[in-house]
Amino acid sequence: MSTLVLVLLTGIGLGALYFLVASGLSLIYGLMHVLNFAHGAFLTLGAFMGFEVARRLDSTSWWAFAVSILVGGLVGAGVAALTELALIRPLYERHIEQVLVTVGLAFAAVALYEGIWGSDPIYIQAPAWMRETTGVLGAQVPNTYWVLMAAATALLISLVVFLRYTRFGTIIRAGVENRAMVTALGIDVRTAFLLVFAIGGSAAGVGGVLAAHYTGYVSAHLGSTLLIFAFIVTVIGGLGSLPGAAIASVMVAVLQQFANYYMGGTGDIIVVVALAGVLLVRPSGLLGRRFA
């Protein structure tokens, strides 16, 4: 019983991490029809900058942790906004070129990070509580997972509130449905593009700092690994659907954890099988709309 609870809760925690990455991917795709391969690079940079800040402070203290989260979010937002302005915007409406430029950026970023921080993982320190566990129904759950769950829940709630109750949120929802009509109402939809990149990048940056605490280290490839699963989650949830991404994140991660524990470490394979299954049965994903 306690093993079951442990596998389930760590699955949900991992799903929370996936959601931090997938939410941005899904928003960006929904509005701009761009699969952003550079999203992992935003995440990695967030992680490195968070680490750099934390180690200059007292990295075992809570306030250093809080500052590193803040820095990760700001750096992620900044670099994503810059990417949109400098690389995506000049290729307006040229979706294939936009995707290719994000692929190029992803490769270049990893090389740059390796140049600066080296190719070996850098182990990080955390507040003592985060290295401890909390007992739930006999299962000892590492506290990092609670932090991941709290962060993803906070992100989901703030995104839903933002999308539902602000003008920019309304513009983004309308743009996901029919971008041309948004411009035909006199709204510069590019502002919304910049905004979803910044929001997605910020979630990825925060995700990067937390991912480093999840794995215990930062490395230039931190983002690339997570990005693969985030893409899978985004596709299964339905490209462009935020609730879809949230549900799929938890489903995929829980499935992955269970397969890893009970089926001899086959989690990654099972996830790809699940992806294939969803694509066969529901090509538009769980909550995605059909698109041509």
Binding site for other proteins (CB under 8 A): 167, 170-171, 173-174, 177-178, 180-189
Comparison of 62 and 291: residue with beta carbon closer to other proteins = 291
Comparison of 186 and 264: residue with beta carbon closer to other proteins = 186
Closest CA to 38 of 76, 94, 69, 73: 76
Comparison of 180 and 280: residue with beta carbon closer to other proteins = 180
Comparison of 21 and 189: residue with beta carbon closer to other proteins = 189
Minimum separation from the CB atom of position 167 to other proteins (A): 7
| Residues 6 or more apart whose Cβ sits within 8 Å of residue 242 | 23, 26, 27, 30, 156, 159, 160, 163
Contact 277, 269 (CB under 8 A): no
Minimum separation from the CB atom of position 32 to other proteins (A): 16
Length of the chain as a residue count: 292
| Residues 6 or more apart whose Cβ sits within 8 Å of residue 239 | 26, 29, 30, 284, 285, 288, 291
H-run or E-run covering 218: strand 217-218
Closest CA to 241 of 29, 13, 17, 14: 29
Minimum separation from the CB atom of position 8 to other proteins (A): 33
Comparison of 167 and 290: residue with beta carbon closer to other proteins = 167
Contact 163, 172 (CB under 8 A): yes
Minimum separation from the CB atom of position 50 to other proteins (A): 36
Minimum separation from the CB atom of position 173 to other proteins (A): 6
Rounded-to-integer distance, Cα 15 and Cα 254, Å = 7
Minimum separation from the CB atom of position 235 to other proteins (A): 21
Comparison of 184 and 263: residue with beta carbon closer to other proteins = 184
